[in-house]
């Protein structure tokens, strides 16, 4: 970028010297923009080692110019790339600015300490905005993953539901068959099938309407547990057990919602997980405040 010539002398040297704390001038429009009476002429050539600036030389500006500058509206000077680089390095090492460091930086850069303080304030604000953007992107990504996961599970649920329907139809048909033939045939069903029927008919009397109701209830239970699994997989993806075991437990819960499927003796690997802890992974959807719990600020 081309070097920009000196823009505005403002209050001149007197102000530069006495203006340790610029607040008294804040309300005075005449002094706005006169914080650092610096010349940035040749700003591109003075960045190595020494100071980046030249003091405003009041001697070179007559009273006419002084008055002229004094009444000019505010004009802002950009910091040189060297100054910015220096400040950036300093910011990287520590984004807080202790008074000693502020003065030291101001000396080295040829700026007013207040300019350094303001730069740090603005820099922190920019950093925070960037961080917010990043957090938003991360959250969006998590949400998309969660959504895809949920949709898969809905499909899985639909599949399981159709299986349940099919099985219940079959059972109803078998019910009819056995009641028709029971008067003529005295042979019993195999033991395992009998147990299966018993499980499905548990607490269900002869009434088929109640039986359908029970099936619907079981399906709702499956749906609830699937939604819980969606939530838990959001954060604990790695913790998911092998699919066969989950499937087994799903079927168990589908048919035996009141039974602790995780502690049933059929599990042979000795994995006796606490069902409450298994289902306590809920963290909520992104809209929920809980979802921000893992966010680090």
With CB under 7 A as the contact rule, the residue among 76, 185, 198, 266 that binds DNA is 76
Shortest distance in whole angstroms from residue 255 CB to DNA: 53
| Burial degree of 54 (CB within 10 A; 0-12, 13-18, 19+) | middle
Window contacting DNA (CB under 7 A); options: 51-59, 95-103, 140-148, 162-170: 95-103
Phi and psi, residue 55, nearest 5°? -65, 150
Distance CA 248, CA 226 (A): 14
Distance CA 202, CA 214 (A): 9
Distance CA 276, CA 7 (A): 71
Site string for DNA, 10-29 (x = CB under 7 A): -----------xxx-xxx--
With CB under 7 A as the contact rule, the residue among 40, 119, 234, 255 that binds DNA is 119
Q: Does 130 bind DNA (CB under 7 A)?
A: no
Shortest distance in whole angstroms from residue 214 CB to DNA: 55
Site string for DNA, 231-270 (x = CB under 7 A): ----------------------------------------
Strand segments (E) across the chain: 38-39, 54-55
Q: Does 96 bind DNA (CB under 7 A)?
A: yes
With CB under 7 A as the contact rule, the residue among 122, 131, 179, 210 that binds DNA is 122
Nearer to DNA, 98 or 207 (CB): 98
SS3 percent helix, strand, coil of the chain, rounded to 5, is 65, 0, 35
Query: CA gyration radius for the chain?
Result: 38
With CB under 7 A as the contact rule, the residue among 17, 118, 173, 259 that binds DNA is 118
3-state secondary structure of 74: coil
Give me the torsion for CA of 231, 237, 241, 246, rounded to 10°: 30
With CB under 7 A as the contact rule, the residue among 55, 57, 65, 126 that binds DNA is 126
Cα separations in angstroms, 49 against 40, 43, 52, 81, 110 = 16, 13, 8, 14, 12
Nearer to DNA, 64 or 100 (CB): 100
Q: Does 125 bind DNA (CB under 7 A)?
A: yes
Nearer to DNA, 35 or 229 (CB): 35
| Burial degree of 35 (CB within 10 A; 0-12, 13-18, 19+) | buried
Nearest to 39 by CA among 64, 59, 18, 19: 59
Window contacting DNA (CB under 7 A); options: 67-75, 162-170, 244-252, 271-279: 67-75
With CB under 7 A as the contact rule, the residue among 6, 7, 153, 226 that binds DNA is 7
By CB under 7 A, name the binding residues for DNA.
Answer: 1, 4, 7, 21-23, 25-27, 32-36, 73-79, 84, 96-97, 99, 102, 114-115, 117-126, 128
């Amino acid at each position: 970028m081309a070097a920009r010539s000196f823009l505005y002398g403002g209050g001149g040297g007197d102000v530069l010297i006495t203006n340790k704390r610029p607040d008294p001038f804040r309300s005075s429009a005449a002094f706005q923009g006169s914080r650092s009476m610096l010349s940035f002429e040749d700003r591109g050539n003075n960045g190595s080692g020494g100071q980046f600036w030249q003091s405003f030389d009041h001697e070179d500006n007559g009273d006419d110019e002084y008055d002229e500058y004094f009444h000019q509206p505010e004009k802002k000077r950009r910091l040189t790339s060297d100054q910015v680089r220096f400040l950036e390095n300093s910011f990287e090492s520590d984004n807080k600015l202790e008074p000693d460091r502020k003065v030291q930086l101001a000396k080295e850069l040829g700026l007013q300490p207040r300019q350094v303080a303001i730069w740090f304030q603005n820099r922190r604000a920019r950093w925070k905005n960037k961080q917010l953007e990043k957090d938003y992107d991360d959250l969006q990504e998590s949400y998309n993953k969660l959504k895809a996961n949920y949709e898969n599970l809905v499909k899985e649920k639909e599949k399981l539901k159709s299986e349940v329907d099919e099985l219940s139809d079959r059972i109803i048909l078998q019910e009819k068959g056995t009641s028709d033939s029971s008067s003529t045939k005295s042979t019993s069903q195999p033991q395992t099938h009998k147990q299966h029927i018993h499980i499905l008919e548990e607490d269900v009397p002869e009434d088929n309407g109640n039986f359908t109701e029970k099936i619907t209830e079981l399906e709702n239970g499956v749906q609830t547990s699937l939604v819980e699994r969606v939530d838990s997989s959001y954060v604990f993806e790695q913790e998911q057990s092998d699919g066969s075991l989950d499937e087994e437990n799903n079927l168990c819960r589908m048919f035996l919602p009141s039974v602790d499927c995780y502690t049933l003796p059929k599990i042979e690997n000795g994995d006796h997980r606490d069902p409450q802890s298994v289902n306590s992974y809920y963290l909520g959807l992104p809209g929920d405040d809980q979802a921000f719990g893992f966010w680090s600020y």
